[in-house]
Structure formats: structure tokens, C-alpha cells
Structure 1
Amino acid sequence: MDHFSGMHNWYACSHARPTYCNVCREALSGVTSHGLSCAVCKFKAHKRCAVRATNNCKWTTLASIGKDIIEDEDGISMPHQWLEGNLPVSAKCTVCDKTCGSVLRLQDWRCLWCKAMVHTVCKEQLSTKCPLGQCKVSVIPPTALNSIDSDGFWKATCPPSCTSPLLVFVNSKSGDNQGIKFLRRFKQLLNPAQVFDLMNGGPHLGLRLFQKFDTFRILVCGGDGSVGWVLSEIDTLTLHKQCQLGVLPLGTGNDLARVLGWGSACDDDAQLPQILEKLERASTKMLDRWSIMVYETKFPRQHSSSTVQQILTYEDSVAAHLSMILTSDQHSVVISSAKVLCETVKDFVARVGKAYEKNKESSEESEAMAEKVSCKEPLLCPSYLIFLPKLCLCVCSGLRAGISGSLSSSSVISRLLVNADSFSCDPETFDCYTEKCVMNNYFGIGLDAKISLDFNNKRDEHPEKCR
């Protein structure tokens, strides 16, 4: 990933006020999209100067800080990371509280983490340790990322100051690609290593990075589909006891965000610092998530046409002779019909008895075979192992007993109980079940979202048809 390498993330942009190149220190032209800006640290450069820019983008790991690391009796901490010039017009020095910066040249400094701005002469008077600014509760300091596991993933350790860091997932394609703006802004406010684009690898890498934290928070910036994607990956990694999830709605159809009180859409990335503060104070609510389980059952045996015809013949014969018995005035006809009817019923009962005996023999054979293979079952791959991680989900322990007490026992009721309380049952109960999908229950089961997704996919495949 580029942000672990210290490389700048360039994009072409325009500047409404005088701006200066951080490489050659000359002014950038006011021509539209003439200059380049780093999406993370706001380092400015001419297009011709970008290749000469040093790879000193915002720090992400302990190794990226290098020799500037601070070690004292309190442990390891990080210094300020300064970027020179191009300060806002209203900038004031943190030390002397006087105006700093200039529109005439590249001068004075801004910290990429705490956003402190100082004059060059005042910089030495400021504490060397960076306090990380107003978002420090949510920030993972680069000092916390200091090793790589055997699979090549970065491992985050939890320093005392970082009790509940924030993991951010942004769907860059949400809201007519509005997510790109939010992706840039979050990387400027937080550690770039804790901000991930769902369209570039999904949520797995981010959750792997945070899985060692006892508690952490997740912010998903996108629609209901993005939230469902992240929740499914949380289930896969069994992290549901460690994290709480918030939603920043982008685009349309954000039912879950409305339910949780975050509104229907957010289109102003300038409000992100305030949103992060609200997220730190937010209360938690439980969300119903239903695992839809299916099981196979045998279809009723299809009768051959001759069997069906034979049954119809029985029905017609019985009906005809009963009619004669009830309506005829001739004793001989009644006696004859009664005799034929008795023979027909006797023959029918005999055939039913034979069918039952045959079915009983097949059942006994099946039971004998099942008993023979049952001793080999532990050696096979039992299907219920797939669901063991989900035994940790929150379930009301009295649910099964309460329903059992109010219903009579039957095989149908047993299956309903497994569906109602599947995660608190013994694993053996899952033998005949397979998980089909997971449904998040707030306004609906997502049928409207599926239709919208299908439409968007078709529009991406055939843009010429949607002008």
C-alpha cells in the first residue's frame, strides 16, 4: 500500500489564492489543474517538480518516523511533523498568537497531526511531543504500528493513550464518486493507515490490522450495502465483541443511517472533525441480524401415470357403488353393489398394507446404514464447524425454553425453534442446515437495495444506454 511507503498521493488541482511549490519554492500558476497536491499531507508541487519531491508524506508506522522518534521515561512518543508554508489566510501562531504564513512566499509551518501553526522563530519554543490534536481519541499514532506478522500484515499494538481507535471504511464510488473527497479528508485528519477504500480490497485488511485491540470503533462511509459488507466480514473474523460500528451516509437509500440517527446523506467533508467528535460521544444500540438457514428435504415421490390411473379407478368405483346403495330401490342391486364395494375396499387396504411394509423395510435399512457410518462422523468435516464462531452472538438464553413451553412437540416445531434460536443450540442441531445469507433487520430485507444495485451494475456495463 502506497501510504505505508511514505510516497505522496498526487492529484491535479487548482488554487484560488497564491500557492507555492514545496520543492522549488516558486509560485504555482493559477491555471486550472496546473499544479499537483498530495491528497494526504497537502504537499504542493509543479508537475515538473513532483518527481523530485522527497517521500516524506504523513507518517503511518514507527519506521516512517525514523530518527525523530522521542524516547523518555514515559516510553516512545512522536514529535510534530512539520510542513512548510501555504497556511490559511486566518492562520495564527500557536506560540505567540500572532498572524503567521504569507501569500508572498513559502514561510512558517503547520503540523500534519495536531494542526498547530507556528512562525519559524517560534517553532523551538513549542513542546517537541505532538498531542495529535482534537481527534487524538480516534487516531492510531504511528508508534503503534511497529511490526509485521508472518502473513505480511501490519500488527497494531495498543498504547495506553489509544483506548478506542477509529477504523474508517469509505466506499469511494458512493454518492457519484463523492467518497473520494471523504477518503482524502479522513487521511488528513487521522493516520492514513487506519483509513481504507472498500473498492480497493474490501474490509478484510483493515479489520486484520485492528483485531488485536480490545475495543475499537468502525465508521463506514457509504450506503446500506457497504455496511452489510463490513458486518459480514466482522462475523467472519469474530470481532463483534470488540467493536461498535457507526455509519456516515453517502449517496441515496441510507435507511440504516436514518434509523441510527445519522441522517439520510452527508455531502460536506468540511464537517468531518465535528462528526468525529459526535462519534466519540455516541451511544450504542443493538442491531438485529438474522442468519437465514436452509435445510434439504425430500420431495414427495412422484407417482407413475398407471398408479394415478389405478387410484382414480378406485375412486370412481367406490363413488358409483355408494351411489347405487343410497339411491336404488332394488334389493339385488344394493346387495351386488355392497359386495363389490367391500371387495374394492379390502383390496385397497391390502395394497396400503403392502406399501407400508415395504417403506418400513427401507427405513430399517437406512437406520442400519446410518448407525454404521455414525462412528466415522468425527473423521469427516462436520458442517456445523462453519457456524461455531457465531455461537458467540448475543442470544436470549430463555428464548428456547419459553417457546418450547408454549408449543407442543413435533418435528415441524423443532425446526422452527432451531431457526428462532439457532445460535444457542448445540452444534449438532446444525447438521442439516446451511447458511444462505444474513439479513440486517431495520426497515426491510434489502430488496430495494438489490434492485438499485442491479440497475447501477447494468448502467456501468452499458453507459451508452443511460444518458
Structure 2
Amino acid sequence: VTLLSNRPSVITPFRRLILCAENRKEMEDWISSLKSVQSREHYETAQFNVEHFSGMHNWYACSHARPTFCNVCKDSLSGVTSHGLSCEVCKFKAHKRCAVRATNNCKWTTLASIGKDIIEDEDGIAMPHQWLEGNLPVSAKCAVCDKTCGSVLRLQDWRCLWCKAMVHTACMDLYPRKCPLGQCKVSIIPPTALNSIDSDGFWKATCPPSCASPLLVFVNSKSGDNQGVKFLRRFKQLLNPAQVFDLVNGGPHLGLRLFQKFDNFRILVCGGDGSVGWVLSEIDKLNLHKQCQLGVLPLGTGNDLARVLGWGPSCDDDTQLPQILEKLERASTKMLDRWSIMTYEIKIPPKHSYPTTPEGADDCQVDGTTNTHTLTQQDLQTDRRAPDLCFFLFFLCCFTSAEVQNRKKKKKKKNDPSASN
């Protein structure tokens, strides 16, 4: 609860409410009611994450090395360390006092979020540019006239959040209206393809030809000493935010369920061995092994699975993500076995007696099954900064206990001195 213009302001996970009441008791009743509702919303997010599709900005305090301007009041952001707030997805800038007045125009996620800017022609619905004003990089050049654009003196000129094109205000009408989605277009699901969510909780999706195999990204924000946070932000900037999910917030079930009706899609898990196993187990539960492939971007501390299978020890440079996505789009597939073994114990004779065991009898029963996966190995030369990525495609096969039993007998003979004599 904060004080804003002599009126209490309650910030919930999804919205900011400014409350007005006739007396203090009534105000306290409102606040207690809102807090009780807020505690229940955490459970609802596991089924439907409103944060992904609301269009609200995700603010964080930041500093800037060059003059930066507020996208609300258009004044400069001043300060020594913390210059103001920035949206982690669309880079919308605002003073702390102006953030409450910012419009919910963050990066589009669905067809409904585009609104009146939608383009309709004889070919159907097309993706328009989503322009954000000002705060362009120093080296920015206009995509129309190829002249320098942007300014360090004021908020001027425009940048598309999807294709990253930059244009002068005077040149905007000369630039094509349809957005090509940029260098990651093969992996991006355009908002025009995500119509709505049906009663079963799945996307009613119609992917364009440019997105034949859309990408679903899971990031463990706690992996690698919390380094996953910057990768989470970067993926949301490069892709549709509706494609990117934080494993810490609800796990992989929501993302997999939303993508369940896609004929074919790819999954990228950014985290350690535990994160990969978590997603694989959820894929088995939902029986999606025939329609998805899975790759790994190692962010954990150990990353033993990534080391053994050639994905590299770790990836800590989020600036390499466009190159990693490009390699991922051209990756090939290879097989990988993932074992699931279950053992249970039965009574055995005391240690001082050594009865002979009839052939075919066992003192321990082992049931084993395995998931045989297809993993992709990049055809490109490995970049030390960008780990090799592998994919899994699942098949089921049976694994008998004979080999496990044989290995156990060999190990017992090796450890038993009497057996060697």
C-alpha cells in the first residue's frame, strides 16, 4: 500500500487500484478485502496466467548511461543511480510518478491485444508494426532514408518492437505497413495467430507458413544464481511474450497445455538438469511426445546432462540469444534414451547362510522402462559462447530386467572374495 496524491494506492499482481473512502475504517475494510482476494489469485495463476495476456508493463528500476526520456510525460529521466522505471519486455520508460498513468500498451500477445491497428486485406489478417517512440540507440538509422534518427535532446522517432526497424516520424508513412517480424520470425508466433483460448484451455491457433514450428520457451529464473531473470527478459523481447514462461511461476503445465493443439512445436528449456527433467515428465503426462521436440540451454550450476550430451557447460551471455535461436531453427535431430527404473525389495536369507540360488530366481525385482527421445545436434560449428543445443522427440519402448540382473550378479561376484576362489 502506497500513498499517491493523498489517496491510498493498492498494487496487486495484475493492476493498480486507487481507493477513495469516506473514513479510515471503511478504507481499512477495502484494503483487507483486497488482500484476501490477492492471496487467492496466486492459485488462479497456475491455471491461467493473466500476466501474459493483459498488456500491462512489467516494471523494474534501472539506470541509463545516456540521456533517456519518459514515454509518458516526455521529460528526461534524472537521478544518480536509479533514473526511473523500464518495462522488461518493451523497454517503455517512465518516471516512478508517471508509471501509474502509463497505458497498457506493452508488446502484443494475442489478436485481441492489437485492437484497431490490425491490417485486413485480400490475403486476410496481417501483422502491423508496433511502434514505440524515442530512446533509440546512438547508431540508429532510418529504414527509409538511411539517415541517422533519434535524439539525445528529446523523445523523437520510432522503433518497432517486433522487427526492430527504426524510422523518422516523417518517413513512417513511407514504410511498409506489414511487419516482417525480424530475424527470429521462424520461431515467433505472431499475435494475429493467437485468436483466443477455448473452453478446454488450449490456444485456438492458426500459425502462418513463416512459423511452421513455433517455439515454446521455459526459463528457470532461479537457475545459475538467479541469472535466468535476464534470459527471461531477453526472450520476451525477441519473441511473443505468450511463448515464454517462468518455471518458478506455475511450472511447465500451463505453457504445454496452451500449446497442446499445435500440430508441431519445439520447446527450449533454459535451466539445469532438474528443469529439463521437470519438463520431460510433464510432456509424458500430457502425451505430447509425438508432436514436440525439446532443446536445452544450460543455465544451472552443474549442468551434468548438458556436459555429457555436448550442449556445453553453461551459457551466461544473453546477448547471444538471437544467434542461438538462429542455430536452433536449423538444428537436426538425434536419438537419446531417458530411463525410468523402479525397484522394490523382497526378503533375502541372513548373511551367515549361503544357500544356492536356483537358476531363474532373483532376490530383487527390477522393472524398467525407457523413453527413447530424438535429440537435435546442430549442424553448425560449435561456438564456445553459445552451447550446442539438442532436441528430444519421444518414443516408448520396453526394457527387460535381464540386463540389470546380470550386472548385479557380476558385481556381486566381483565384491565377494569367496566367489573369486
Q: 1:33 to 1:146 in 2, by over 3 A?
A: same
Q: Does 1:20 align with 2:69?
A: yes
Q: 1:424 to 1:229 in 2, by over 3 A?
A: closer
Identify the residue that residue 8 of structure 1 maps to in structure 2: 57
Q: 1:89 to 1:300 in 2, by over 3 A?
A: closer
Matches within 5 A, 1:213-232: 213-232=262-281
Q: 1:421 to 1:139 in 2, by over 3 A?
A: closer
Q: How far did residue 296 of structure 1 move? A: 7.2
Matches within 5 A, 1:167-182: 167-182=216-231
Identify the residue that residue 13 of structure 2 maps to in structure 1: none
Greater shift in the superposed pair: 39-48 or 262-271: 262-271
The code of the aligned residue for 2:96 comes to K
Give per-residue Cα distances to partners, 1:150-193, cap 9 Å, x unaligned.
14454433333211111111000111111111100100000000
The one of 334, 339, 359 equivalent to 1:290 is: 339
Q: Does 1:123 align with 2:161?
A: no
Q: Does 1:419 align with 2:368?
A: yes
Q: How many aligned residue pairs are there? A: 321
Q: Does 1:94 align with 2:143?
A: yes
Give per-residue Cα distances to partners, 1:79-130, cap 9 Å, x unaligned.
0000000000000111111111000100000000000000111111111110
* Cα distance in 1 for residues equivalent to 2:95 and 2:369: 63
* Cα distance in 2 for residues equivalent to 1:421 and 1:204: 22
* Cα distance in 1 for residues equivalent to 2:299 and 2:345: 40
* Cα distance in 2 for residues equivalent to 1:203 and 1:278: 24
* Cα distance in 2 for residues equivalent to 1:256 and 1:301: 39
Greater shift in the superposed pair: 273-282 or 5-14: 273-282
State the SS of the aligned residue for 1:51.
helix
Contact 1:84 1:106 in 2 (8 A): yes
Q: How far did residue 196 of structure 1 move? A: 0.3
Matches within 5 A, 1:325-340: none
The code of the aligned residue for 2:274 comes to G
Q: Does 1:273 align with 2:322?
A: yes
Matches within 5 A, 1:101-140: 101-140=150-189
Identify the residue that residue 301 of structure 2 maps to in structure 1: 252
Contact 1:220 1:247 in 2 (8 A): yes
* Cα distance in 2 for residues equivalent to 1:164 and 1:421: 26
Q: How far did residue 247 of structure 1 move? A: 1.1
Identify the residue that residue 145 of structure 1 maps to in structure 2: 194
Q: Does 1:36 align with 2:85?
A: yes
Contiguous gaps of at least 5 residues in structure 1: 303-408, 430-467
Larger radius of gyration: 1
So what's the TM-score if we normalise by structure 1?
Answer: 0.64
Give per-residue Cα distances to partners, 1:186-226, cap 9 Å, x unaligned.
00000000000000000011111111122211111111111
* Cα distance in 2 for residues equivalent to 1:159 and 1:115: 20
Identify the residue that residue 72 of structure 1 maps to in structure 2: 121
Contact 2:270 2:297 in 1 (8 A): yes
* Cα distance in 1 for residues equivalent to 2:66 and 2:110: 34
Greater shift in the superposed pair: 253-262 or 273-282: 253-262
* Cα distance in 2 for residues equivalent to 1:87 and 1:300: 74
Give per-residue Cα distances to partners, 1:391-450, cap 9 Å, x unaligned.
xxxxxxxxxxxxxxxxxx95769x77x63689556xxx9xxxxxxxxxxxxxxxxxxxxx
Contact 1:60 1:191 in 2 (8 A): yes
State the SS of the aligned residue for 2:209.
coil
Q: 1:41 to 1:226 in 2, by over 3 A?
A: same
* Cα distance in 2 for residues equivalent to 1:255 and 1:58: 36
The one of 119, 127, 131 equivalent to 1:82 is: 131
Q: 1:73 to 1:149 in 2, by over 3 A?
A: same
Q: How far did residue 31 of structure 1 move? A: 2.0
Give per-residue Cα distances to partners, 1:362-401, cap 9 Å, x unaligned.
xxxxxxxxxxxxxxxxxxxxxxxxxxxxxxxxxxxxxxxx
State the SS of the aligned residue for 1:134.
coil
Q: How far did residue 22 of structure 1 move? A: 0.2
The code of the aligned residue for 1:237 comes to L
* Cα distance in 1 for residues equivalent to 2:370 and 2:259: 30
Q: 1:196 to 1:420 in 2, by over 3 A?
A: closer
